[in-house]
Amino acid sequence: MMRSFIILAAASVLAACSSLKPYPSVAPENVVVKSAIESGSVLSSMRGAVHIHEVDASCHTSYVGTVKLDRPSIALGLPAERPSYLVFVFQGSSLFGGSTSSAGAGTVLKPRPGYRYEFAVSYKDNIYNVVLRESDPRRGASREVPRQELRGCSA
């Protein structure tokens, strides 16, 4: 189910921006986000970001911070063996103002110690995708990790 996906538009997005804060640096940096985001139009712009939340034992979330996806590759650290809820958002705006929109995808990630995680994030021609892969540097093995909803998470 895609209840973890929330798509908002206009004022709600603008209102939310006011309370955003940078995600703090956490060592080790076990997650890489590789993004390719295209607006698809000279009259509009598209920006990406990932909002990171802590998840407690009752699956309640607490906002920690936001990482702007303004570079093709960004590394960040998530605490191992503790679930985090990551919400990727794509926010578009018209150059002439008047309208903004935002689409997004969320997933719970509970990093395993020693493992590395890579998100491949894309937005092109109004179609977006978020794919997560987990790799074990010691064995060289890698697998795609299905998106996990917040509902039903097991912290």
Q: What are the residues binding other proteins (CB under 8 A)?
A: 1-3, 5-12, 90, 92, 99, 101-103, 105, 122-129, 147
Residue 43 DSSP code: T
Distance CA 24, CA 59 (A): 22
In the bound complex, what is the minimum distance in angstroms from residue 44's beta carbon to other proteins? 10
**Alpha helix (H) ranges present in 44-116?**
none
Closer of 5 and 63 to other proteins (Cβ): 5
Closer of 6 and 80 to other proteins (Cβ): 6
User: Is residue 64 within 8 Å of residue 53, measured between CB atoms?
Assistant: yes
In the bound complex, what is the minimum distance in angstroms from residue 22's beta carbon to other proteins? 26
Please give the helix or strand (H or E) that residue 64 lies within, else none: strand 61-68
Closer of 78 and 103 to other proteins (Cβ): 103
